[in-house]
Structure 1
Amino acid sequence: MSNLDQIEAAILSLPSNEFEQLRLWFLDLDYKRWDKELEQDIEDGKLEAFAQEAIAEYESGHCREI
Protein backbone atom coordinates (compact mmCIF):
# COMPACT_ATOMS: atom_id res chain seq x y z
CA MET A 1 0.00 0.00 0.00
CA SER A 2 1.42 3.40 -1.02
CA ASN A 3 1.72 6.38 1.30
CA LEU A 4 -1.15 8.03 -0.52
CA ASP A 5 -3.36 4.98 -0.07
CA GLN A 6 -2.54 4.95 3.65
CA ILE A 7 -3.32 8.66 3.96
CA GLU A 8 -6.61 8.26 2.12
CA ALA A 9 -7.60 5.34 4.36
CA ALA A 10 -6.70 7.33 7.47
CA ILE A 11 -8.72 10.32 6.29
CA LEU A 12 -11.75 8.16 5.58
CA SER A 13 -11.61 6.79 9.11
CA LEU A 14 -11.53 10.20 10.82
CA PRO A 15 -14.45 11.29 12.98
CA SER A 16 -16.34 14.30 11.62
CA ASN A 17 -14.74 16.85 13.93
CA GLU A 18 -11.21 15.69 13.11
CA PHE A 19 -12.02 15.61 9.40
CA GLU A 20 -13.18 19.24 9.66
CA GLN A 21 -9.95 20.21 11.42
CA LEU A 22 -7.93 18.46 8.70
CA ARG A 23 -9.97 20.10 5.96
CA LEU A 24 -9.38 23.57 7.39
CA TRP A 25 -5.67 22.86 7.90
CA PHE A 26 -5.36 21.60 4.32
CA LEU A 27 -7.18 24.62 2.88
CA ASP A 28 -4.90 26.95 4.84
CA LEU A 29 -1.83 25.07 3.61
CA ASP A 30 -3.09 25.20 0.03
CA TYR A 31 -3.72 28.96 0.23
CA LYS A 32 -0.25 29.56 1.71
CA ARG A 33 1.40 27.55 -1.07
CA TRP A 34 -0.63 29.37 -3.71
CA ASP A 35 0.36 32.72 -2.18
CA LYS A 36 4.04 31.75 -2.32
CA GLU A 37 3.66 30.67 -5.94
CA LEU A 38 1.92 33.94 -6.84
CA GLU A 39 4.58 35.98 -5.04
CA GLN A 40 7.28 34.10 -6.95
CA ASP A 41 5.48 34.66 -10.26
CA ILE A 42 5.27 38.38 -9.49
CA GLU A 43 8.95 38.47 -8.53
CA ASP A 44 9.86 36.64 -11.74
CA GLY A 45 7.85 39.13 -13.80
CA LYS A 46 5.42 36.53 -15.10
CA LEU A 47 2.43 38.80 -14.42
CA GLU A 48 3.94 41.98 -15.82
CA ALA A 49 2.16 41.65 -19.18
CA PHE A 50 -1.21 41.28 -17.42
CA ALA A 51 -0.49 44.31 -15.25
CA GLN A 52 0.48 46.43 -18.24
CA GLU A 53 -2.64 45.32 -20.11
CA ALA A 54 -4.85 46.25 -17.15
CA ILE A 55 -3.17 49.64 -16.78
CA ALA A 56 -3.60 50.32 -20.50
CA GLU A 57 -7.29 49.39 -20.34
CA TYR A 58 -7.79 51.68 -17.35
CA GLU A 59 -5.92 54.58 -18.92
CA SER A 60 -7.88 54.26 -22.16
CA GLY A 61 -11.16 54.53 -20.28
CA HIS A 62 -12.34 50.97 -20.87
CA CYS A 63 -13.09 50.48 -17.18
CA ARG A 64 -16.19 51.08 -15.21
CA GLU A 65 -16.89 51.30 -11.51
CA ILE A 66 -18.53 48.33 -9.94
Structure 2
Amino acid sequence: MNMNTLQEIERAVSQLSEKELSAFRVWFAEFDAANWDKQFEADVEAGRLNAFAERALQHLREGRCTDL
Protein backbone atom coordinates (compact mmCIF):
# COMPACT_ATOMS: atom_id res chain seq x y z
CA MET A 1 0.00 0.00 0.00
CA ASN A 2 1.44 3.35 -0.93
CA MET A 3 1.10 6.59 1.01
CA ASN A 4 -1.65 7.91 -1.26
CA THR A 5 -3.75 4.84 -0.59
CA LEU A 6 -3.27 5.14 3.18
CA GLN A 7 -4.15 8.83 3.06
CA GLU A 8 -7.24 8.03 0.98
CA ILE A 9 -8.33 5.44 3.55
CA GLU A 10 -7.74 7.86 6.43
CA ARG A 11 -9.71 10.55 4.64
CA ALA A 12 -12.57 8.17 3.87
CA VAL A 13 -12.74 6.91 7.47
CA SER A 14 -12.73 10.45 8.82
CA GLN A 15 -15.79 11.23 6.70
CA LEU A 16 -17.90 8.32 7.96
CA SER A 17 -21.05 8.99 9.92
CA GLU A 18 -21.19 7.73 13.52
CA LYS A 19 -23.27 4.75 12.41
CA GLU A 20 -20.88 3.93 9.55
CA LEU A 21 -17.88 4.38 11.83
CA SER A 22 -19.39 1.98 14.35
CA ALA A 23 -19.97 -0.60 11.62
CA PHE A 24 -16.42 -0.04 10.34
CA ARG A 25 -15.00 -0.65 13.84
CA VAL A 26 -16.84 -3.98 14.05
CA TRP A 27 -15.68 -4.97 10.57
CA PHE A 28 -12.09 -3.96 11.24
CA ALA A 29 -11.94 -5.79 14.58
CA GLU A 30 -13.13 -8.97 12.86
CA PHE A 31 -10.74 -8.43 9.94
CA ASP A 32 -7.81 -7.80 12.27
CA ALA A 33 -8.62 -10.85 14.42
CA ALA A 34 -8.84 -13.09 11.34
CA ASN A 35 -5.45 -11.87 10.13
CA TRP A 36 -3.94 -12.43 13.60
CA ASP A 37 -5.37 -15.97 13.62
CA LYS A 38 -3.82 -16.69 10.21
CA GLN A 39 -0.42 -15.45 11.37
CA PHE A 40 -0.65 -17.45 14.60
CA GLU A 41 -1.55 -20.61 12.68
CA ALA A 42 1.36 -20.03 10.28
CA ASP A 43 3.71 -19.56 13.25
CA VAL A 44 2.46 -22.81 14.82
CA GLU A 45 2.85 -24.74 11.55
CA ALA A 46 6.38 -23.37 11.08
CA GLY A 47 7.34 -24.39 14.61
CA ARG A 48 8.11 -20.84 15.71
CA LEU A 49 6.25 -21.38 18.99
CA ASN A 50 7.73 -24.77 19.89
CA ALA A 51 10.39 -23.35 22.21
CA PHE A 52 7.75 -21.40 24.14
CA ALA A 53 5.54 -24.46 24.45
CA GLU A 54 8.43 -26.61 25.64
CA ARG A 55 9.42 -24.01 28.22
CA ALA A 56 5.83 -23.87 29.53
CA LEU A 57 5.66 -27.67 29.71
CA GLN A 58 8.99 -27.77 31.54
CA HIS A 59 7.67 -25.25 34.07
CA LEU A 60 4.59 -27.42 34.52
CA ARG A 61 6.69 -30.54 35.08
CA GLU A 62 8.78 -28.63 37.63
CA GLY A 63 5.67 -27.54 39.51
CA ARG A 64 6.26 -23.88 38.71
CA CYS A 65 2.66 -23.39 37.55
CA THR A 66 -0.17 -22.77 39.94
CA ASP A 67 -3.92 -22.94 39.65
CA LEU A 68 -5.69 -19.62 39.85
- Give the TM-score category using the shorter length: over 0.9
1:59 aligns with 2:50: no
TM-score by length of 2: 0.91
Which 4+ runs in 1 deviate beyond 2 A? none
Cα distance in 2, alignment partners of residues 49 and 7 from structure 1: 39
| Cα offset, 1:13, TM superposition | 0.7
Aligned to 2:35: 33
Between the aligned residues of both structures, percent identity stands at 38
Distance 1:63 1:7 in 2: 46
Q: 2:23 aligns with which of 21, 24, 42?
A: 21
Q: Which amino acid aligns with 2:67?
A: E
Unaligned runs of 5+ in 2: none
How many residues matched?
66
What is the CA RMSD across the aligned residues, in angstroms? Answer: 1.2
Task: Give unpaired runs (5+ residues) of structure 1.
Answer: none
Separation (CA, whole Å) in 2 of partners of 1:5 and 1:39: 31
